[in-house]
Amino acid sequence: MKHIDVKEIVTSKKYVGSEVTVCGWVRTSRNSKSVAFVELNDGTSLKNIQIVVEKGDGDFKEPRVGMSLKVVGNVVEGRNNTVEINTVPENITVLGDCPTDYPLQKKGHSLEFLRSMPHLRSRTNTFNAVWRVRSVLAAALHRYFQNHNYVYINTPLITGSDCEGAGEMFQVTTNGYTTEFRNEEEYYANDFFGRKAGLSVSGQLEGEMAATAMGKIYTFGPSFRAENSNTPKHLAEFWHIEPEVAFAELDDVIEIAEDMLKYVIGQLLELCPDEIKFFDAHFEKGLKSRLEELISHDFGRVTYTEAIELLKNSGENFVYPVEWGCDLQTEHERYISEKVFKKAVFVTDYPKEIKSFYMKQNPDGKTVAAVDLLVPGVGEIIGGSEREADYDKLVSAMQERGMNLDLYSDYLDLRKFGSVPHGGFGLGFERLIMYTTGMANIRDVILYPRTVGSIR
Amino acid sequence: MKHIDVKEIVTSKKYVGSEVTVCGWVRTSRNSKSVAFVELNDGTSLKNIQIVVEKGDGDFKEPRVGMSLKVVGNVVEGRNNTVEINTVPENITVLGDCPTDYPLQKKGHSLEFLRSMPHLRSRTNTFNAVWRVRSVLAAALHRYFQNHNYVYINTPLITGSDCEGAGEMFQVTTNGYTTEFRNEEEYYANDFFGRKAGLSVSGQLEGEMAATAMGKIYTFGPSFRAENSNTPKHLAEFWHIEPEVAFAELDDVIEIAEDMLKYVIGQLLELCPDEIKFFDAHFEKGLKSRLEELISHDFGRVTYTEAIELLKNSGENFVYPVEWGCDLQTEHERYISEKVFKKAVFVTDYPKEIKSFYMKQNPDGKTVAAVDLLVPGVGEIIGGSEREADYDKLVSAMQERGMNLDLYSDYLDLRKFGSVPHGGFGLGFERLIMYTTGMANIRDVILYPRTVGSIR
């Protein structure tokens, strides 16, 4: 079906004066005596194209909302620097009818109502804009890393290691419920992989293996957490970007994170002006200037120890008390970024007890070379670190935590054969979309959200 | 650690005459009386950079294979249009030692041997080249779709529908082996999602929901098949590209597939000349010209019915007999593309009995608007179709197959509310990498292969 994307017609004047074929769904229509106006949207753009139908003497049936049409007509300039298409009833073909029980009628719907129809909500302006932002950000992330000589790798989703976060891991099995086996051992020995397997919570360990060969790598794929938390910020299945870089120390990791984030948000402002304007108008007043400020200022930087002092001296009444050694809660993170720095801020050098075994141990013996990036409104958006490159130090950190070294022999090999300073970070893709659109519930930035007790 | 990627130095002359810092791993080294030569690789390029060490009077210990070094030196022109770095022992820092039991010594290793060490094999030339091709192809696919107004979407991996290929689906559970529940119902009611869940074999159904809202979409993510087949072509976890396009008929789907494939392979030839030369020399003689021919000729096109006639009249002794209605086997597919057409060929309009319920029924009542793309050497690389857009026809195809319509009410809604002609296809990413590198085993084109009985 030869036709032209509505996006191509509404974003330039080049089709003015030409006859074109467009296809799309009817968003609204209104009828007058001699002319009908139909707003058609084909999904390629947030903007509709207006079809002006010269009804003539003929019998023109006003198309219903949701119907799909094919229209042949002439592109002309409309009011306010827009373009529209002039046509006659004979040049309109109905591709698919739409009954009056179509749930998306003209009026606005709550996000909650729309969540009950994931297969139709993408036909609203809001989700049209969210999915386009998501797509443009994803492409910008790929572009950033490709332009800087990173290699895109796909770390395994099904994993046999139940490293970190074992308690939060989904199992993958072809057995499921069965009474066929006498015990656990027999159950897993007869499973697809011949052993217990799960869904990966992070590609970092395999990312390190790739980075210490390819130099600079990034992953962009799903991660899974079987966390029993029903909040507007948690998903059981989310998308994750995890760059990992050889020959890099903590300062390099921080520089990359800032540079990457500024690039992709800059690209978003450039490539999705209509969408950002839409979110600014309907979801978060001031969004656009917040993003513009983010990319035009240096991010702040503070150590965990300094942050604790700032919080203790803040005079604020926090729900969770603040003491050196405690984990920062969202209220603390937001205070630091929103009240103290009023911008994005890196917090570095956390107590080793509250961070992972693989983080580089600082000379003070108390902290590790970890970094979290906190942003106003959301809190933590990136978490990373320099990794411990010293074999003996890594082994003792693992032993302190009672870990089984045998399960990590491949990982330890990286510190045995040509070990290098290296580091990386993880960016939760849905958190980035929330931050750049002002959408407040993570269920509204992924096509089919997966959360505890809910799958559709 | 400020340093310059080896790729930047070896692909241009712009650093000649400058002092630079490079980091990398020692691939080989040789020593003479006054000079030592060290081949250093940092993973960003297939090419090493040669370090020429003027030993002077000092005591210079020849670095061992696998060690990591930081080198400061001057870039000079070498022989055969290359560049190299001149330095002295004082400007070489050992970042990480490498003991003599390092498994990757100078000599070549079999792919099978390397499969036993997935964490180290990426440090060989072969895998350096495979991962770079993989990355460049992935980026080119994103670029192709983004440039054509497609929206990148992420369809769910964990799914509650056990549609197609239910027998081949992994289950996802937080229960696993347990004797806690009295029966199956209780087991799944108490599982994480409150019901039975599995890993998706395809994002197509959700892709159709997005395409009938956003116009043109593509997925690029993992798919899972719990198939009990241990062949060089099957993975339990593979990456899948699935574009889906509204306002498109079978001919449009075919045009997109050909255009996309030619674009990404053209990009590969342009961006990875060293890698393609390497594979041509070491894995498949004639690879480069095969790829060049592919992108410069129109793909062939034949109907299934014509293909059956060609096969019957071929005089070949096939293992699987050929009769109208049979599924084409790899031997048939390869005969068609390698012997008859000698190029890539689309086979269309298959018998409805051997294809899926969602494919558009042709007017002949016997065939559906399906398409497979067959390529020499590999066989099927793409499978797609126009989808059935007519509600009643879709329902009867589902009823003929004994499917439970209630599980598909969302999918059927797409044919109720503004249905449009639409179609798409699936491309197995690893198959594409095999085809463009000449690698014969799918385990060698993915970082950590997952196959029946094997997970590491």
A44/B215 Cβ within 8 A: yes
CB contact under 8 A, B206 and A239: no
Interface test with A, best of B44, B65, B214 (most A CBs within 10 A): B214
**Subunit contact B138:A135, Cβ cutoff 8 A:** no
| Beta-strand relationship, B158-159 and B367-375 | unpaired
* Cα of A143 to nearest chain B Cα, Å: 8
Pick from A456, A44, A15: nearest CA to B194: A456
* CB within 8 Å of B427: residues ≥ 6 apart: B240, B241, B242, B257, B381, B382
> Whole-angstrom distance between the N-terminal and C-terminal Cα of chain A?
33
The answer to whether residues A165 and A147 touch, using CB atoms and an 8 Å cutoff, is: no
Which member of B123, B154, B452 has the closest CB to residue A213?
B123
Q: Are strands A345-351 and A300-303 parallel, antiparallel or unpaired?
A: parallel
- Please provide residue B366's backbone torsions phi and psi, each rounded to the nearest 5 degrees: -115, -30
Over residues B296-306, the mean pLDDT reads: 97
Q: CA-based Rg of chain A, rounded to a whole angstrom?
A: 27
Alpha-carbon dihedral sign for residues A7, A9, A12, A14 = positive
Nearest Cβ partner for B177 among A95, A184, A420: A184
Pairing of strands A49-54, A83-87: parallel
For testing contact with chain A, the best of B417, B429, B433, B446 (most A CBs within 10 A): B417
A221·B221 Cβ contact <8 A: yes
Q: Which of B95, B100, B116, B119 to mutate to test the interface with A (most CBs of A within 10 A)?
A: B119
pLDDT band at B383 (very low <50, low <70, confident <90, very high): very high
User: Which residues are CB-neighbours of B405 under 8 A, at least 6 positions away?
Assistant: B395, B398, B399, B412
Cα–Cα distance measured from residue A219 to residue B138, given in angstroms and rounded to the nearest whole number = 12
Measured distance CA(A344)–CA(A337) in Å, rounded: 6
| Chain B environment of A173 (Cβ under 8 Å) | 170-171, 173, 176
One DSSP character per residue, B407-455 reads GGHHHHHTTTSS---EEEEEEEHHHHHHHHH----GGGSSSS--BTTB-
- pLDDT at position A416 is 97
CA distance B285 to chain A (A): 26
List the helix and strand counts (H, then E) for chain B.
Answer: 13, 17
Q: Is B392 exposed, middle or buried (0-12, 13-18, 19+ CB in 10 A)?
A: exposed
Distance CA A423, CA A243 (A): 8
Mean pLDDT confidence for B408-428: 97
Instruction: Report whether A124 contacts A132 (CB < 8 A).
Output: no
One-letter amino acid at A380 equals E
pLDDT, position A180: 93
**Chain B positions in Cβ-Cβ contact with residue A271 (cut-off 8 Å):** none
d(CA A277, CA A288): 7
Burial A311-320 (b: 16+ CB within 10 A, else e): beeeeeeeee
What does the DSSP 8-state code read for residue A361?
Answer: B
- Residue with the two structure tokens 């310059």: B4
The string of DSSP codes covering A37-60 is EEEEE-SS-SS-EEEEEE-TTS--
Where residue B167 falls among pLDDT bands split at 50, 70, 90?
Answer: low
- Residue B166, pLDDT score: 53
User: In chain A, which residues fall in CATH 2.40.50.140?
Assistant: 6-102
- Cβ burial A88-114 (10 Å sphere, 16+ → b, else e): eeebbeebbebeeebebeeeebebeeb
Cβ distance B173 to A170 less than 8 Å, yes or no, reads yes
Q: Beta B68-77 vs B92-96: how paired, if at all?
A: antiparallel
Kindly tell me if the per-residue pLDDT of B418 is higher than 70.
yes
Q: Which of B125, B183, B420, B442 is the best residue to mutate to test the A interface, defined by the most A CB atoms within 10 Å of its own CB? A: B420
Q: Collect all residues of chain B within an 8 Å Cβ-Cβ radius of residue A212.
A: 123
Architecture of domain B121-152+212-444: 2-Layer Sandwich (3.30)
Tens of pLDDT, residues B45-102: 999 999 999 998 877 889 999 999 999 999 999 988 899 999 999 999 999 999 999 9
Mean pLDDT over B317-330 rounds to 95
Mean pLDDT of A277-281: 98
Q: Do A417 and B153 touch (CB under 8 A)?
A: no
DSSP string, A405-434: GGGGHHHHHTTTSS---EEEEEEEHHHHHH
Which DSSP category does B336 fall into? Answer: I
Chain B residues within an 8 Å CB radius of A136: 146
Our CA-based measurement puts residue A46 at a distance from the nearest CA of chain B, in whole angstroms, of 10
Nearest-Cα residue of chain A relative to residue B191: A453
Tell me whether residues A236 and B184 touch, CB distance under 8 A: no
Are B207 and B242 spatial neighbours (Cβ–Cβ below 8 Å)?
yes
Minimal C-alpha gap between A113 and chain B (Å): 15
> What pLDDT does residue A454 have?
85
Mapped onto helix, strand or coil, the DSSP state of residue B247 is: coil
Location of each CATH 3.30.930.10 domain in chain B: 121-152+212-444
pTM (whole model) above 0.90: yes
Q: Round to whole Å and give the CA distance between B26 and B63.
A: 7
- Chain B residue whose CA is closest to A412: B119
Question: Which pLDDT score is estimated for B123?
Answer: 97
Query: A30 burial class (0-12, 13-18, 19+ CB within 10 angstroms)?
Result: exposed
DSSP string, A265-317: HHHHHHH-HHHHHHHHHHT-TTHHHHHHHHHHSPPEEEEHHHHHHHHHTS---
Residue A284 has pLDDT above 60, yes or no: yes
Q: DSSP 3-state assignment of B311?
A: helix
Q: How many CB pairs under 8 A join A and B?
A: 331
Mean pLDDT of the region B377-383: 90
Q: What percent of chain B has pLDDT over 90?
A: 90
**pLDDT at site B56:** 87
Query: Are the beta carbons of B213 and A175 separated by less than 8 Å?
Result: no
A197-240 per-position pLDDT tens digit: 999 999 999 999 999 999 999 999 999 999 888 899 999 999 99
| A chain contacts of residue B98, beta-carbon cutoff 8 Å | 416-418
pLDDT at A144 over 60: yes
Is residue B456 scored above 80 in pLDDT?
A: no
Q: With 90 as the cut, is the pLDDT of residue B199 above it? A: yes
Question: pLDDT at residue A446 above 70?
Answer: yes
Task: pLDDT band for A376, please (50, 70, 90 cuts).
Answer: confident
Query: In which residue are the tokens 């054509």 written?
Result: B148
Q: How far apart are CA A224 and CA A86, in angstroms?
A: 50
**B66: amino acid identity, one letter:** G
CB atoms < 10 A from the CB of B343, how many? 17
Given B138, B146, B151, which is nearest A152 (Cβ)? B138
Q: Is B257 exposed, middle or buried (0-12, 13-18, 19+ CB in 10 A)?
A: buried
* Cα distance between residue A327 and residue A339, in whole Å: 19
Closest by CA position to B207, among listed B215, B196, B218: B218
CB-nearest to B210 from A159, A214, A447 is A447
Residue B250: which of B363, B340, B141 has the closest Cα? B363
CA–CA separation, B401 vs A436, rounded Å?
45
What's CA A75's distance to the chain center, in Å? 37
**Looking at chain A, which residue has its C-alpha nearest residue B210?**
A122
- Three-state secondary structure call for residue B298: coil
Q: What is the pLDDT of residue A370?
A: 98
Question: Span B146-156, mean pLDDT?
Answer: 98
Nearest chain A CA: its distance from B455 CA (Å): 6
Give how far the C-alpha of residue A68 lies from the chain's centroid of Cα atoms, to the nearest Å: 31
Strand boundaries in A174-275, DSSP class E: 198-199, 216-224, 237-246
ipTM for the assembly = 0.97
**Any idea which architecture B6-102 has in CATH?**
Beta Barrel (2.40)
Dist CA A398 CA A388 (whole Å): 11
Question: Choosing among B219, B247, B251, B254, which should be mutated to test the A contact, i.e. which has the most A CBs within 10 A?
Answer: B247
Give the gap in angstroms from C-alpha B214 to the nearest C-alpha of chain A. Answer: 4
Fold of A121-157+200-444: BirA Bifunctional Protein; domain 2 (3.30.930)
| Residue B165 clears pLDDT 70, i.e. is over it | no
> How much is the pLDDT for A167?
65
pLDDT at B160: 87
Give the lowest-confidence range in A40-49, A441-450, B51-60, B250-259.
Answer: B51-60
C-beta atoms of A68 and B419 within 8 A: yes
Question: In this structure, what token pair is assigned to residue A261?
Answer: 């984030």
Cβ within 8 Å, pair A135-B158: no
CB atoms within 10 A of CB B299: 19
Q: Chain A: residue nearest B148 by CA?
A: A5
pLDDT (tens digit per residue) in A29-69: 998 889 999 999 999 999 999 999 999 887 788 999 999 99
**B7, A246: Cβ pair inside 8 Å?**
no
Cα of B311 to nearest chain A Cα, Å: 32
Q: Is A153's CB within 8 Å of B176's CB? A: no
Q: How far apart are CA A254 and CA B414, in angstroms?
A: 46
| DSSP label of B358 | T
Q: Which of A42, A155, A192 sits opposite B447 (nearest CB)?
A: A155
Contact at CB, A197 and B455, closer than 8 angstroms: yes
- Interchain pair A171, B170: CB under 8 A: no
Q: Which residues contact A26 (CB under 8 A, 6 or more apart)?
A: A38, A39, A40, A63, A64, A65, A66, A67, A68, A69, A98, B418
DSSP-assigned letters across all residues of A133-176: HHHHHHHHHHHHHHHTT-EE----SEES---TTGGGPPEEES--
Interface test with B, best of A46, A119, A252 (most B CBs within 10 A): A119
